[in-house]
Amino acid sequence: MDYNELLKSRYRLIIKYTGLMIMIVGAVLMVPLIALLFYPEDFTYIQYFIVTSLLSLSLGAVLYYKAGSREKTVSLTLKEGGIIVVLSWIAALVFSAVPFVWGLNMSWTHSIFEVVSGWTTTGLSVMNVEKTPAIYLLWRSIMQLLGGAGLAVIALSSILPMQGMGLYMAEARTDQLLPHVQRSTQMIMKIYLSYVSGGVFLYYFAGMSLFDAINHSIAAISTGGFSTVTTSIGYWDSLGIELVTIILMFLGTINFATHYALLQGKLKIFLRNGEIRLMGLLLLISIPLVSYIGLNDIYVNMGKNVRNSIFQLVSALSTTGFSTIDFASWPIFANLFVIVFMLIGGGTGSTAGGIKQFRIYIIFKSIYWEIRKYFSPANRVNEDYVWRGEEKQYIHNNSIREIANYIFLYLFTYLTGVFIFLAEGHSLRDSLFEFGSALGTVGLSIGITGPGASGLILWTEIFGMMLGRLEFLVIIFALTKLFRDSKYYFIKRR
């Protein structure tokens, strides 16, 4: 088989599995109809979801069955998995936006923004949720549920007959809970859905309605942050609901390999994990500083200071985006901590966004290792490692270089977005905050994002959210491979 034939064979597989992903999107477009059990008056919107679902299922079926590949089991490379993920996400965003455009007469820009915010588990919104039909509120939450798990994880855990490590890694996941990829993804889905179910019960017990409990539990575990009320968790002004939310946000931001160690009762191993230690240290330092210095002039009650500090800092670090206050009223000192936490983000391989705590931890550890090396005997050999999940992960110079490159690329993108916000007339503080929230897939807002935001601001945030969720290198790998393969194929044909 020559290279052209090999290319065609591989792309038939890519088209086939992209079609299968699109069929999954079509199937889940039916799930929001559950909202009719709570709000039968929303029955008028049912047609927009059913027709869109049928269109998605039809397109997916055509791609899947017409691709022509007869291979039963296949291993995908990271680049091939990246192409499937990118194409699947684009299709998911378009089909997910159709009910908003068709049923609510929203513009394509606003609709795409809303669904990108949902699928990337960001939580920024251009909708007035107080006037939005419940079926759409549930659809937003479902998008966050699926986006948090990842289309690839859902597919691999159920129906894809492949050795799909490339597809798994293309969804920004590298931790395997079990030796077999499909068993790992099945375990991830079990953990994920169990936490959501537990969250629904706790929220309902704490005083939420069942519908609100379902939506907020999904949003908290997926670190999404979409709410059914304008003022988010602050609407209830309930210590119990805030405690439940903090627990769920904390669980959502831990990578699934670490969850697996915790659920097996391996507490020592759990506490050895670098991300857990870094998270604990960051919160231990920041909460007193924000409470006693940053908010001292705002809230008279010190208990209120501590309560707000804990909630907002956990929300920012976990990249969930729930809030109990208005950030525009917070001083720059307190907001600076929130901005830094949004950039750091949650655990690698979790539902959270940001640079990721593991990368930040490795950079700090590498500085320590370098200092230790300087004072060590010349003939001493050090094996540098960190705990990740249940295993030691040895860190080499190549890994540190890749992490440093990623952080540079992330910060360069962040500064580019901030400059666009500044060019649109927003203040430096507001620009740093708002684009940091979008790129980190957080969802906290200082007031820029909304129906009145310019198209340039919304599309800048859309690209930021996508880059933050799928991670830069996967998108770059996928687009580069598409370009090179198409260039080779068409030049060769000439």
Of 67-76, 82-91, 310-319, 412-421, the range with the lowest mean pLDDT is 67-76
Q: Is residue 345 part of a domain?
A: yes
Instruction: Give the amino acid at 111.
Output: S
Structural tokens at position 55:
């269109």
**Contact (Cβ atoms closer than 8 angstroms) between residue 366 and residue 234:** no
Look at residue 135 and tell me if it is in a domain: no
Compute φ and ψ for 185, nearest 5 degrees. -70, -35
pLDDT above 90 coverage of the chain, percent: 56
77 secondary structure, DSSP code: P
Are the C-beta atoms of 483 and 472 separated by less than 8 Å?
no
Helix (H) or strand (E) holding 388: strand 385-388
Of the candidates 438, 418, 436, the one whose C-alpha atom is nearest the C-alpha of residue 428 is 418
Residue 380: phi and psi, rounded to 5, are: -80, 135
Please tell me the distance from the alpha carbon of residue 112 to that of residue 119, in angstroms, as a whole number.
Answer: 10
Taking 50 as the threshold, does the pLDDT of residue 212 lie above it? yes
3-state secondary structure of 392: strand
pLDDT at 490: 65
Q: Domain for residue 221, yes or no?
A: no
Q: What domain count does the chain have?
A: 1
Structure tokens belonging to residue 119: 């699928």
Average pLDDT over residues 142-157: 71
Q: Which residues pair with 75 in a beta bridge?
A: 163
Supply the range of the domain harboring residue 441.
269-493
Of 76 and 42, the structure prediction assigns the larger pLDDT to 42
Would the pLDDT of 269 be above 90?
Answer: no
Does residue 219 fall inside a structural domain?
Answer: no
User: Which stretch of 70-84, 102-116, 187-201, 263-277 has the lowest confidence by average pLDDT?
Assistant: 70-84
Please give the average per-residue pLDDT across 152-157, as a whole number.
53
Residue 260 located in a structural domain: no
pLDDT at position 122: 94
Evaluate if residue 158 carries a pLDDT over 60. Answer: no
Confidence of residue 157 (pLDDT cuts 50, 70, 90): very low
Evaluate whether residue 102 is within a structural domain.
no
Nearest Cα to 221, choosing from 141, 116, 134? 141
Is 170's pLDDT higher than 70? no
State the angle between helix axes of 472-493 and 78-104 in degrees (0 to 180), rounded to the nearest 10: 100
**12-26, 144-158, 180-194: least confidently modelled range:** 144-158
Residue 85 lies in a domain: no
pLDDT class for 17, splitting at 50, 70, 90?
A: confident
With H, G, I as helix, E, B as strand and everything else as coil, classify residue 394. Answer: strand
